[in-house]
Amino acid sequence: MPANFDLFSTAVMLRAVEQMPRVYTFLADTFAENGECCDDERAMYDYRKGAETGLAPFIVPGTGGVPINREGYEMRQIQFSTVAPERVVTLADVSSRMFGENVTGSMTPEQRSKRVIARDLVELRTMVQNRRNWMVREVLLKGQLAIKRYTNEGVEKEASMLANFGFTNFYIPTTRWDQAGAKINYDMEKVFDMVYDGLGDVDTLVMGAGVFEAMMANSDYCKTLDMDKVYMGEIAAHYAGQGVRYRGTNSDGVKMISYSGHFLNDSRQKEYHIPAGYILVGSSRKKPVKFMHGPIQKVQGQDESAQIHTYIKKEVPFRIGGSASDSISTRLVSRPTVVPDNVGAWAVMKVLTGTT
């Protein structure tokens, strides 16, 4: 390796990031496509809210065709967000033995700094992917994306970036599922038809806390279960990690999943990805939303050598520091947004008492 080779230059770290294993997050991986990276400050996308296709018109031979309007389709644009988590390494962090290091402390500060920066880069990627997963959650559960950004004074009190996609596929059953007389299978079929009418598809049903228990307590619904999934009188559940439990299929062959995964919000409070009493209905094959990523720009170099570099990438790492500083910062920048492919292609159910 050349003596002047910089292991933590942007170019080298970028190649390392691109070769890292993909960070898995359930909602994003299940319901969101990986869209393109753009070189413009705004993303252009096709907005569609499921409109049914009519019948082709009959014509008299020789009269030509009949023009048909494109219903439910328009071109829209959306601004990219910017996320930039950063970790700082100080001289104090690398001057003494690290956690997990040999008790004799045989590593040099230079070796420790490289290990710390590499570990930080992995954790920063996880934080960026967690934010992408949160964006998918907001669009799927609320039909909008409201972003409060950090400023020099702290977090904004009101969202300064708001995209409302006009989502209306909310369903509240007449009788909640934890009450006597609940028509669970009927409610499911109504919601599936709602998605199909919106030109969407249904193969996955994701349940928040308490929903599966309410279903199992309903004797009428248990009669409709796929008997291939019943073992010794119980549904044979399969735990897949991150709070994901596969419960079997319903009478329409739709995969049922309980999801108890959670995240720490911007106030460092725990929230469930799927709130208690909620159900998200959609397709993992024909994913209803997609990611798009904007250009990342950074001034690199000093004085006369300073230049603006533009990266058309999902995420770009930067090292920040200098001889006048006693610290080095590693920053990972990404500019994601999430847009629906079809706003009618999924639905949200609120099925337990007290769920609003």
DSSP track, 253-304: --EEEEE--EEE-TTS-EEESS-TTEEEEE-SSS-SEEEEE--EEEEES-GG
The model's confidence at residue 234, banded by pLDDT at 50, 70 and 90, is very low
Whether 89 has a pLDDT exceeding 90, the answer reads no
113 inside domain: yes
Count of structural domains, the chain: 2
Q: What is the CATH number of the domain that holds 196?
A: 3.30.1930.10
206 and 188, same structural domain? yes
224 and 282, same structural domain? yes
268 and 183, same structural domain? yes
pLDDT at position 201? 95
Name the residue range of residue 20's domain.
10-50+76-158+290-337
Q: Which helix (H) or strand (E) holds 213?
A: helix 211-216
Within 10 angstroms of residue 215's Cβ, the number of other Cβ atoms is 24
276 and 231, same structural domain? yes
Identify residue 349 by its one-letter amino acid code: M
68 inside domain: no
Nearest to 234 by CA among 248, 220, 245: 248
Q: What share of the chain is helix, strand, coil (3-state, %, to 5)?
A: 25, 30, 45
300 and 316, same structural domain? yes
Residue position matching structure tokens 């049903």? 205
69 inside domain: no
195 and 117, same structural domain? no
57 inside domain: no
Assess contact for 300 and 52: CB atoms under 8 A. Answer: no
Q: What is the CATH number of the domain that holds 103?
A: 3.15.30
Whether 225 has a pLDDT exceeding 70, the answer reads no
Whether 118 has a pLDDT exceeding 90, the answer reads no
What is the tens place of the pLDDT at every residue in 242-282? 889 998 888 888 999 999 999 998 888 999 999 999 999 99
Specify the DSSP class assigned to residue 227. Answer: G
138 inside domain: yes
Assess contact for 140 and 348: CB atoms under 8 A. Answer: yes
Assess contact for 50 and 344: CB atoms under 8 A. Answer: yes
pLDDT at position 258? 95
61 inside domain: no
**Cα–Cα–Cα angle for 149, 25, 41, rounded to 5 degrees:** 40
State the first-to-last Cα distance of the chain, in angstroms, to the nearest integer. Answer: 61
Assess contact for 335 and 45: CB atoms under 8 A. Answer: no
256 and 149, same structural domain? no
115 and 15, same structural domain? yes
**Cα–Cα–Cα angle for 14, 15, 17, rounded to 5 degrees:** 65
102 and 29, same structural domain? yes
Whether 231 has a pLDDT exceeding 50, the answer reads no
356 inside domain: no
30 and 129, same structural domain? yes
149 and 24, same structural domain? yes
Whether 323 has a pLDDT exceeding 70, the answer reads no
235 and 139, same structural domain? no
104 inside domain: yes
What is the tens place of the pLDDT at every residue in 125-172? 999 999 999 999 999 999 999 988 887 667 777 777 888 999 999 999
Identify residue 230 by its one-letter amino acid code: V
What is the tens place of the pLDDT at every residue in 166-222? 999 999 999 999 999 999 999 999 999 999 999 899 999 999 999 999 999 998 888
